[in-house]
Structure 1
Amino acid sequence: MESKKINKLVLASTNSNKVKEFIDIFSKNDVKIIPQSRFGIDSVNEKHITFVENAIEKARHVSRLTKLPTIAEDSGLCVDALNNNPGIFSSRYSSLDKKNCSISNNSLLIKNLHNIENRKAYYISIIVFINYPNDPIPLISEGRLYGKIIDEASGNNGFGYDPHFYIPIFGKTVASMTNEEKNSISHRSIAINKLMNKIIYG
């Protein structure tokens, strides 16, 4: 598949922060991202137990309604000492009935790590690309960003667990980084770059 044939993709996400990040990163590859909200599409229920299955479900849902090539992502925070939780429940960690409760999610995370010395963690992003709803060979890529969890929040940029996710080699949290810094190392940018290589070179 030649890169010139991929100039726009529908993104299966209603998370405004994530949409902005995708637009910023994909623009560097001259690919226009169209969020599913542009088509008035609601989110699909994330009922699976793996990031891959959730991403595929979201991609097929949106592609089925738009009839267009679609990408979808499922991502989360995995903490060593918590058996890789919150994992697939990252956006609804503090309440399974409500998504993107960043303040309460972070509070619960820090509470659950109280008196635990091991703070190693990583962000993971799984991105799926399909050409059409029943595409039998979805392209799948993975990106990870390693760091550790700190008790005191730092930084006003980013979203989710970024204020508590500290990157030792940078000496600051993800929320303390500029958008350019974050997009150069993030789990999402790693997964996107891998995906673009698969789309272009097969």
Structure 2
Amino acid sequence: MSQIVLASSNQGKIREIQAILQNQQILPQGQFNISDAEEIGSTFIENAIIKARHAATHSGLPAIADDSGLVVDALNGAPGVISARYAGMGASDQANIDKLLQAIQDVPATQRNARFICVMVYMRHSLDPTPIVTQGVWEGHILPHNIGSNGFGYDPIFWVEAYQCSSAQLPPELKNTISHRAQALQALTRQLTHC
């Protein structure tokens, strides 16, 4: 079983990724005392590559990184790449949700289309010129208030039409088969079997 460093300190992401990539030994970057990379990219792809290269450089191992976020049509794609820090550096999930709900308070329910985007990057080593890049997209709508207590981030306000509930109401094992991160990881898993 090969070892791969996961370029994240987000416990929610770590749980989801470990649950999906069961044939790899996933080691969180914190195990190597690697700090979070500075996300200075303007796109999900740029940030995922920055994070994967940072983790591979400091661990000497292959690395996986994702950059993901919520894209809301009525907000011209915000919060986008700054989803985790939408309400400021170190903001809580609820602070980010509150800011988003404030921003769309006058938007009719029928115009609250949104999607979670996840870009996943696998780098064989820090100088890998051809990293594997996959993407997942999960369509939904923004609710007017929190519903549910599972998940993290914007899950309590993300309505999943197919299941008639919020993402935070989905059992984790189901979310791990249909989410944006699950889609990107499933695509990555298929490509890793050919490496």
TM-score (norm 1): 0.93
Q: How far did 1:130 drift?
A: 0.6
| Identical aligned residues as a percent | 38
Q: How far did 1:16 drift?
A: 1.0
Q: Given that residues 140 and 160 in structure 2 are in contact (C-alpha distance below 8 angstroms), is that contact kept between their aligned partners in structure 1? A: yes
Q: Which residue of structure 2 lines up, in the alignment, with residue 3 of structure 1?
A: none
- Within-5 A mapping of 1:36-55: 36-55=29-48
SS at structure 2 position matched to 1:189? helix
SS at structure 1 position matched to 2:156? helix
Matched, 1:174 2:167: yes
Letter matched to residue 13 of structure 2: K
CA deviation map 1:30-86 (0-9, x unaligned): 222110011011111101101111110111111011111111000000001001110
Q: RMSD of the TM alignment (CA)?
A: 1.1
Aligned with 2:76 (options 83, 87, 92): 83
- Within-5 A mapping of 1:7-46: 7-27=2-22, 30-46=23-39
Aligned with 2:94 (options 88, 103, 110): 103
Letter matched to residue 75 of structure 1: S
- How many residues are treated as equivalent by the alignment? 193
- Within-5 A mapping of 1:114-153: 114-117=105-108, 118-153=111-146
Letter matched to residue 118 of structure 2: S
Q: How far did 1:7 drift?
A: 3.1
Matched, 1:183 2:184: no
Q: Which residue of structure 1 lines up, in the alignment, with residue 87 of structure 2?
A: 94
Q: Which residue of structure 1 lines up, in the alignment, with residue 194 of structure 2?
A: 201
The CA distance in 2 between the partners of 1:177 and 1:9, in whole Å, is 28
Letter matched to residue 11 of structure 1: L
The CA distance in 2 between the partners of 1:181 and 1:196, in whole Å, is 18
Q: How far did 1:152 drift?
A: 1.8
**Structure 1 unaligned residues grouped into runs of 5+:** 1-5
The CA distance in 1 between the partners of 2:176 and 2:192, in whole Å, is 20
Letter matched to residue 37 of structure 2: V
**Structure 2 unaligned residues grouped into runs of 5+:** none
